[in-house]
Amino acid sequence: SAVISQKPSRDICQRGTSLTIQCQVDSQVTMMFWYRQQPGQSLTLIATANQGSEATYESGFVIDKFPISRPNLTFSTLTVSNMSPEDSSIYLCSVKMGNEQFFGPGTRLTVL
């Protein structure tokens, strides 16, 4: 299994600012995933981050808004840029190992 930690666990931000979320995994993994869970909703995949290459974004998500870094096999960051209240969500980091997909504890973001 994988143990995933995220920082910060929660934050309250002003509109127009940016927040960088960190994700640390206790094992080396090829692919890391970032999801968004809006209030009362399901999980939506934002992007897949492979080490050494640019992230692959899903429809509706763009690099300028959600830049991602993946400097090594155990770490990734997601930045939420130029935030608006619509960005208020839980952001979850996730990895796949074997036949299972594991999730971090999430970062609860509130934008005022």
Partner 1 sequence: ELKVEQNPLFLSMQEGKNYTIYCNYSTTSDRLYWYRQDPGKSLESLFVLLSNGAVKQEGRLMASLDTKARLSTLHITAAVHDLSATYFCAVDGRGGEAGTALIFGKGTTLSVSS
Binders of partner 1 in range 5-44 (CB under 8 A): 30-31, 33, 35, 41-44
Considering only 78, 89, 94, 109, the residue that binds partner 1 (CB under 8 A) is 94
Task: Please list, in sequence order, all residues whose beta carbon lies within 8 angstroms of the beta carbon of residue 107, skipping any fewer than 6 positions away.
Answer: 6, 7, 8, 9, 10, 11, 21, 90, 91, 92
- Of residues 17 and 101, the one with the C-beta less far from partner 1: 101
Query: Rounded to an integer, what distance in angstroms lies between the CA atom of residue 47 and that of residue 92?
Result: 11
Question: Which residue ranges make up the site for partner 1 (CB under 8 A)?
Answer: 30-31, 33, 35, 41-45, 48, 92, 94, 96, 99-106
